[in-house]
Copies of this chain bind each other. A is one copy, B any other.
Amino acid sequence: MNYNDVDKSVVWGELKRLADGKNRTGLAADVAGCSVPMAAGLVYNWAAKAAGPDVVSALAALAGEQELAAKYQALLDGEVINTGENRKVLHHLLRGQCGKAVIHDGKDLGAFYQAELDRFCDFAARVQSGGIKSSAGKNFRTVVQIGIGGSDLGPRAVYLALDNWAQKNGVKKLDARFISNVDPDDASAVVNSVKLDETMFVLVSKSGTTQETLANELFVKDKLQKAGLDPKKHLVAVTSETSPLAHNPSYLDSFYIDDFIGGRYSSSSAVGGVILSLAFGGGVFKEFLSGAHEADLCAREPDPLKNAALLDALLGVWECTFLGYPATAVLPYSQALSRFPAHLQQLDMESNGKSVNRRGEKIAYKTGPVLFGESGTNGQHSFYQLLHQGTGVIPLQFIGFRESQRADDIEVDASTSQTKLNANLAAQIVAFAKGKDDDNPNKFFAGGRPSSLIYGRALTPKTLGALLAHFENKVMFQGFAWNLNSFDQEGVQLGKLLAKKVLSGNSDDNALDAYSKLLGVT
């Protein structure tokens, strides 16, 4: 396979010409004809992307030249795709087999992941049945995840997305909370809001060395001890088998991942699975995985018009690299997805916010946009002003569902709230695409502000899994198109190094000393 920069592709010039030449206002005439079926009954609609057949056909050529489908298949087959760190990329294998069996050092990793899944689902069942009790002899009623970054954002977004659904369907087992920040107010507030004698803590750190997580672990252990409880009957660990936390009798149990599961791709592993199984039961978590697996299978299709993740990725490259749009907004019309944009923010910006290619050479084009978002209709009363009438164009990713999760609704002025929600969603897509002429420039809307829509019947474990995997696959396709390594994060190292210098008092940097003094650190 070739690993060429995108500006070395034959179709690059054609795409540049298309980007220079076009009036991109408007909307495809056949809206429904621009729908691509996704996994779990979801649909991706790109009628408002303002990309005509010429653009889509050039992007399809780009996908061919950059060998996106082949690279994805190589990843599924267990090749070392994270070359910089000499690692395979195997989060899809947590959800099912999409390629060859992956054997590493004589170990069948698919079987290993499956065994861990079964083990933590079984553990969750024993906790829920009261077979495992707290050191005070009580049933556990609350589970608190201690983790940061990928050990926090994805699992938290998924928990919030399914909480209403689980309540409605009578499968809510434990209440979940999260401690992430090293700010002591975070851990203190959570610990003081739960009943410690009924609370289990899930400590999540792949390396077992994350500064924030270890500090918060000791914070929690201290509180448990002061409450007369035995920490080792209240803590479980999720880590890699080579970490200092592994095989450690100070935990009730430990569940394992490995270096082939990147933090921001780890919600499908024990990182998300332990807390989600405890909260909702292992069956719900397996449903979530089945939706993700179905999406992984769909993403193997080489034709972008039949592969939503691939098409979404290509349109994103078009908007970022060729049209120069520097940001993108994710707008779920579902309050349950309130923290899903924060997860995607990490997934996207940490994967593709890079300036060097896979070989470590500087690239000469724009990659990774800023990603932000809030749920609608809330955002309509906030930052949509800039989206509609600002001096820049921000492409939009809408998400919506026909039904609410709780089916607890009211009819006002002849429509339910759910109908109002979706009426707003439809209206916004059209308003952004078509704009409105007006003699008063203050009431003029230029239109041509592109958006796509992912929609489905309802937000369930399965559709949520499909949604999560769609974006993972999209981000990976974009990384391949841009010729980036979407699986490392060297950009976070320098800050860590300097923070250690501050804490050790061994800085040789005057500015660092000056700032540390301003902040009262030294």
Contacts and interface: CB of A to CB of B under 8 A. Distances in A.
Interface stretch (A73-81, A248-256, A510-518): A510-518
B417 A511 contact: no
Contacts of A394: 370
Contact of A389 (B35, B353, B361, B422): B353
B327 A380 contact: no
A435 to B, nearest CB: 8
Interface stretch (A96-104, A270-278, A310-318, A371-379): A371-379
B421 A32 contact: no
A64 interface: no
A413 to B, nearest CB: 8
Contact of A406 (B84, B188, B410): B188
Interface residues of A, number: 151
A137 to B, nearest CB: 27
A424 B182 contact: yes
Q: Which of A219, A433, A515 has the most chain B CB within a 10 Å cutoff? A: A515
Q: Which of A45, A345, A431, A491 has the most chain B CB within a 10 Å cutoff? A: A491
Contacts of A355: 389-391, 441, 446
A193 to B, nearest CB: 10
Contacts of A408: 184-185, 188, 192
Given A346-B382, A518-B45, A377 B424 contact: no
Interface stretch (A146-154, A229-237, A463-471): A146-154
Q: Which of A43, A363, A389, A425 has the most chain B CB within a 10 Å cutoff? A: A389
Given A326-B327, A426-B499, 6 more contacts: A31-B518, A182-B421, A189-B335, A371-B383, A425-B519, A445-B491
23 contacts: A149-B380, A149-B381, A149-B382, A164-B188, A181-B335, A181-B376, A181-B421, A183-B418, A184-B416, A189-B406, A214-B412, A215-B417, A215-B420, A326-B326, A350-B383, A354-B391, A385-B489, A388-B494, A422-B519, A422-B520, A426-B518, A436-B494, A453-B515
